Each structure stands twice: as structure tokens, then as C-alpha cells.
Structure 1
Amino acid sequence: MSLYVYVEPDDERRTHWGNDFRAIGGTMLKSMSELESYLPRYPETLLVVIGAVVDLDEALMFTAYQRLQRPVIGVVLIRHAIEAGVVLRCLQSGIRDLVAEEDEEGIRSATVRSVDLSKALSTTMRGTGDNAPYASVVTVFAGKGGCGRSVVAVNLAVALAGAGRRVLLMDLDLQFGDVAIMMKLSPERNIAGGLQMAGRLDEPGLRSIVTTYRQSLDALLAPASPAEGEQVRREFVVELLDVARPLYDFIVVDTPSVVTDQVLAALDMSDWFIPIVTPDLPALKSVRLTAEMFDLLDYPKDKRLLVFNRAGAQVGLSPSEVEVAAGMPFAVQVPASRDVTVSVNHGEPIAVTDPLHPVSRAIRELGDRIAGVGTTPQRRRGFLGRLFP
């Protein structure tokens, strides 16, 4: 049985990669038609690498179909060169990684990430034995406004929604939530619409108030007015999360810059805590207070992933100084970029419009940490960079 497949019609390229790929138990195939007859016989397959000479439309059609039928399978697509117009099509179809043919180390790294993600997804989809998902709750928090909390939450939800994972983005900034604007969504359906079902909310009820942004990603928007937001109680937040967890793989919660009962309810149910810090003294003070609050509430330290937002901004504080002042190491550094502001103003998350942007890459790295995908560089050992068990 082979878990890894490489489709390469070109004899010279197949010879170039063949020995390394077979060394880790992989199978080399000559065509997409061979692949289609191969997969039903080997449903345990985790990785499909599609060579540069395979027709793009054929590769994307295959991937889109597998995303629905076998979401655990990861597809790495190799092209002669990376063209901007192709990237979005690949993202929409579910391609895990798009790599230029000349970037051999990039190909190896992409396959490592894809296999790690497939193994994590396999564990998640096994669930409690009945193949039902059970969402991990990821709460993004910053005690100071203007840190880019909602930007991180929105783009993190987009990143997590890759590879067929079902994600719910919940806007718990109940008075002034920005998720609807950032994703260009109508706030007609929102949390307040479920208040009449409080105490008896079920799956159909939840689905009646969420808004689908794109395949695999739904949003539960903040109320349209602050007055409606005041009616949302802590108990209803708990109920929303309880009902949503069996329906999704991840729930990303955006929060206001104040600690409310509703925010505490989400934090108490969270599996991951994402504090945000920026290179300015008020934000540093805020993140230190946040860490102290997390300690008092006994939230596990190994589930806290500090995001250094707007890293590289020339404001007189170096990353090392910010890290020391924050009192915890950075999980990722999201670079400062005016492109983020442009994306917000257009209502289009940068992780969607430009998935190769440094900001998108940083947030995708954060998503990989949350999803259990290994991102530590490995010593080169054959085709995949290391040998898989």
C-alpha cells in the first residue's frame, strides 16, 4: 500500500523524481486516468503530487472533486512558473500547495506540510468513532483596540478553511463587530436572530442565522445594532458554541477589546488562545495584563499563541524587545503592510485575494500550528524531506 502518489506524464521528469519518491514508498503514475483508477483501490492515500505538464483544468477538476469525496487527500500542484491568475483558481479548488518546478526544496517542504495536515485531518475526522467532527474553539483577543484583532481572526478563519475543513467565524464584538464589513457580508442574518431560540437552539436554528462566505467557511455575524448586542447573554454564547461544535472542525471567535461575560464564556470553552500584540507601549501593557488574566483563569500556557502583528514597523521597538516585554514568545510575526488596509477597505480578506502575500503566509503558519501541522524545517531525507513512518 502506498500513501503517496506522483502523477508525471513526462518520462524525463519521472526518472528525475522516481527513485527518491519510491524510496519513501511512493507510487509513480503516468496519467490522471491512471490516478482515477488507482485511488479507489487505495483509499488510504494521503498525498497526490501533480506534475508540471499535467493540464491545469484537469488537475483543478480532480482536486475539487476529491475535496468533497476524500478531503483527507492533499494535492500539491507543480507548475513551470507561478502565475498570479492561477493562484486563486488553485485556492478555490482546494489545492494544498502550488510550487514552481524549479523550486525542488519548495516541493519537498510542500509535501511534508500536506502529509502532516492530512494526518491531522484523519485524526479529526475519526472524531469519537462515528466520523463526526467536534470543533476546536480558537479565540482571538487583544485588550487594546486597533491591534488588528479582527484582521487576524478573519484571515485565520480563511486559512483554516482550506483542505475541506469546516470553519465557523463568530463575531463576539456584539456592539461594534467588523467581520461583516471585512468580508463584504450582509448583516441581515446575525447572532441576535437566534435569541428567540435561546434555551432550545438546535442545528437547523443555528444554520438559519449563519451566513456562508464560501465553501467550508460560515460566519456568525454580530448584531446590526449595539442595542441588539446587549440582549446576547453569556448563556446564549455557551449554547451557540455547544450547538456549533459538532458541525465544524474549527470555530474562530473574534472579540471586542474588553473582557465581557460573553468573551469569558468563549475563553472558558476555548482550545486555543490567540492574544495579539503590536509594537507600541499600550499594546505591550495590554498583552501583559492579558497573560496575567489567563494565568489567573488557569488557561494552559501551551495553548496560547502570541501573534506579533505589524512586525517590521519602524517605531523604535525591535521584535526581541517586544517579545521580552510581552513575557511570552511569538508564535508568528505578521509583517506590517499597507496591503492589509487596502484589503479591509475592499471587504476582501488578503488570505483570499493574495494567498502568497507575506501576511497571508504568516497567518497560514498560525493556522498550521492550530491544526497540528508540523512547520519545523526537517533535514532533507529523500523526496519528502524526511521519511514517513
Structure 2
Amino acid sequence: MTILCQPATAPDDDLVPDLGGSVKSVDDLNAALRALNDDPAEDLVVVGPSVDTDTALRFAAQLRFDRPVAGVILVRDVVDVTLLTEALRAGVREVVAAGDTVALLAACERSRVLSDRARADLRSHDEPEPTRQGKVVTVFSAKGGCGKTTLAINLAAALAAAHGERVCLVDLDLAFGDVAISVQLDPVRTISDALPMAGHLDTTGAASLLTPYRPGLDMLLAPIAPGDAEKIPAALVGELLTVLRGMYDFVVVDTPAQFSEHVLTAMDVSDHHVLLTTPDTPALKNLRLTIDMLDLLSYSRDIRSVLVNRSDSKVGLSTADVERVVRSPLNGQVPSSRNVPISINKGVPIVIGTPTHPVSQAITRFANDRLLSRPVAVRTRAFARRGAGRRS
């Protein structure tokens, strides 16, 4: 059942036909609160356009503390950036334009999913055992064109397919992220929507930013509007990853091909660094520089894996040659195949579309050997930047 708040004196704003299913209509927000208290299983309040905006926002802000699993959806005649910012800050799940029935039904369904997750999180927090923290895995390559985004997507899909793990893929290439287009997702919500929540982000807020892809696999997509990348502070990235690791078994981070402050922040909170290269001289040179930089910044070598993509390319470099150049052992090799770009064009990761393919098997084997086989501590302190973890 959905609780719908709309004054009886505003028949033109009747949203009952738009909501479908069981709907309980109330005249004001006080009555909505009573209805919530009367039915502990109900977690959705839709506020019609005739209800004063400021009153609705105060109601949502208070409800966020009194009933954190409950969601508020605001229906307005006019939706603009100012309203969206104020609504997100108050804890409103979504703002929908009046008359858009499809959007309203979809928003209600997303809100119910978020409430179910929040309720499950609260139940787990009530247990006497400490909550297990998930692993943050950052995928990085200092040279573009190595297949980093493709690997990150398929690695996340492989982890999600194993033992029912819950996985979130974060596209941290804020200016030119390709995760959404690679899996054909519509980036309705992106990381830039977290800006109003900076400094007080919680699991409910983080969940509102995610785009579901498959059961067990959600994605936090990169901004799409020009200039949005510059607005996102590195501190917000750290805040997001910290919250997400409490919600998922694995958080896989796809990064741009540069050592930005955002990338270093992700590496700070990571439990594992996956360094990707291809068997060609420029990529190997950049990998060698990457390893030197990570050593200089005192990141632990124990959380590092070197993975070679297109490892069977006939370019005159053997595995021994690659290891000699980078002065580091290889932890995995992924063969080349024309089926990989085909899978990208179809929007289906190859580990999902063809799990028996040699590329899929190589990525799955790497996930099992380097990530799934290593238990996660209740409170991880894997990062070692700027001397935080290295011991003399």
C-alpha cells in the first residue's frame, strides 16, 4: 500500500489512478505520519503537488531521522535544479513532474527497493556480531586503451556471479566515463547527484544514487553534463566508497588513466589495486612508472595485482620479458579476442554473455584467485598511502 498525501479540496491533483494498487489517501502530512505509525510495514509516502513544498521538505527531513527506511516522493508541477537540490538535502527520494505517470510508478518501485535494502541493513546492525565490511577494488592503468573499463565491468560481473556476492561498480572516470554506454544503461542518476549530501552521506542517500544492472550488481555512473566532473571533491569520493563498502561485498572502481586526487583517494580506501597493462612498450613503461609511484607513496605491495590484457598478442614480448620490464610478477593474463569488442557493442559483458569463453574464464579465475580467496576483515586497514601502513 502507498500513502498518498493530497488535500481533499484539490480533486484536480488526484494521483490515485496514477499509483495503481492499494492506496491510502490522507489530507495532510500529519495524517500521513499517523498512517505510517499505524502500519510499520508501509514505507512510502507520495506527496501531491497541492501540498506546500517547504512543509513537504520539513516532513521528509524529520522522517529521515524518525523512520529512516521510509521514502518520500514529491510530485510537483514544476521541477527545477533548485528544487531537486533542496529535496535531496531534505532526504526526498525522488521528485517527479505532475502528470508523468510512468516516471511516478518507476520512482515508487525504486523507493520500495531502497526501503527493503535499508530495512535489511538495520536488521544486520541489530545483530550482536560486527558488520562485515566489503572489499574496495580499484582498477587502474596509466595508459589509455588497455581495456580498463571493459575489465572493470567484467570483473564486477564475475564477482557478482560468484557465491551470490553483492557488487557495486563505480565509474570514477568523472569526465569521460564509459561504463553506462558499455552496458547500455541510462544515466538518470550519477555521482554528481551526491553533491547535496556531501558530509552527511548515509546508506539511504548512497542507494538513491545507484542504477541497478543485474541481480547482485549495481552501478554508480559517471556524470554526463559538461563541467560536472570539476564540481566533485575528492573527499566526496572517499565518503561514497566508505559508505558503499558497508553495503556491498565488493566495490569495484573504474578509474581514468591518470593519478588524480580522486584516484589517489580511491586507492587510499582500497583493499586491492588491480594494475592493468598490455604487452607493448608504452603501456609497460607506464606500468613501471605506476608501480614506482605507488611504492613512493608507500602503498602496500601485498594488495597489488598486475594483470596483462591481450596477453597472447604476437608482438615479440614474452611473459618473462614483461616481468623483467616491470620488475614485478604477473598475477593474471587475459587473452585477446574479437568477441570482446562485440560484447561491448551489444552492451553485455562477455563473462555474462559467454561465461565459457577463454576471456571470461581468465577474468573469473583472477577474481577467484586474487579477490574471492582472500577473506575480508571486519575492519580493514589495507591502505598504506604516505606511510600510513608501511612498517620499518
TM bucket, shorter chain:
0.5 to 0.7
Q: Secondary structure at the match of 2:227?
A: helix
Distance 2:130 2:218 in 1: 21
Match of 1:340 in 2: 340
Quick check: 1:135 aligned with 2:95? no
Distance 1:270 1:129 in 2: 27
Quick check: 1:242 aligned with 2:242? yes
Q: Deviations over 1:32-90 (max 9, x none)?
A: xxxxxxxxxxxxxxxxxxxxxxxxxxxxxxxxxxxxxxxxxxxxxxxxxxxxxxxxxxx
Q: Which amino acid aligns with 1:140?
A: V
Q: Secondary structure at the match of 1:247?
A: coil
Match of 2:323 in 1: 323
Quick check: 1:279 aligned with 2:289? no
Match of 1:151 in 2: 150
8 Å contact 1:161–1:167 — kept in the other structure? yes
Distance 1:347 1:130 in 2: 40
Distance 1:281 1:189, change over 3 A: same
Match of 1:268 in 2: 268
CA deviation after TM superposition for structure 1 residue 229, in Å = 1.1
Match of 2:15 in 1: none
Distance 1:317 1:371, change over 3 A: closer
TM-score by length of 2: 0.61
Distance 1:229 1:318 in 2: 39
Match of 1:215 in 2: 215
8 Å contact 1:133–1:248 — kept in the other structure? no
Quick check: 1:295 aligned with 2:305? no
Q: Deviations over 1:105-136 (max 9, x none)?
A: xxxxxxxxxxxxxxxxxxxx99x963633111
Q: Secondary structure at the match of 1:305?
A: strand
- The answer for unaligned runs of 5 or more in structure 1 is 1-124, 375-389
Q: Which amino acid aligns with 1:281?
A: T
Distance 2:236 2:198 in 1: 6
Distance 1:326 1:226 in 2: 37
8 Å contact 1:174–1:226 — kept in the other structure? no
Distance 2:146 2:226 in 1: 21
Q: Which moved more, 1:131-140 or 1:251-260?
A: 131-140
> 4+ residue runs of structure 1 moved beyond 2 angstroms?
128-133, 369-374
Q: Which amino acid aligns with 1:246?
A: G
- The answer for unaligned runs of 5 or more in structure 2 is 1-123, 375-392
Distance 1:149 1:226 in 2: 23
8 Å contact 2:242–2:269 — kept in the other structure? no
Q: Deviations over 1:163-210 (max 9, x none)?
A: 111111000000000111111111111101111111111111111110
Distance 1:329 1:166 in 2: 30
Q: Which amino acid aligns with 1:151?
A: T
Q: Secondary structure at the match of 2:339?
A: helix
Distance 2:254 2:128 in 1: 31
Distance 2:222 2:244 in 1: 16
Q: Deviations over 1:210-249 (max 9, x none)?
A: 0111111110000013411111111100110111111111
Distance 1:131 1:152 in 2: 32
Structure 1 segment 1-389 matched on structure 2, within 5 A: 130=129, 132-162=131-161, 163-373=163-373
Q: Secondary structure at the match of 1:170?
A: strand
8 Å contact 1:190–1:220 — kept in the other structure? yes
Distance 1:129 1:300, change over 3 A: farther
8 Å contact 1:139–1:274 — kept in the other structure? yes
Q: Which amino acid aligns with 2:278?
A: T
Q: Which has the higher contact order (CA 8 A, sep 6+)?
A: 1
Q: Which amino acid aligns with 1:161?
A: A
Q: Which amino acid aligns with 2:140?
A: F
User: How many aligned positions are there?
Assistant: 249
8 Å contact 1:308–1:332 — kept in the other structure? yes
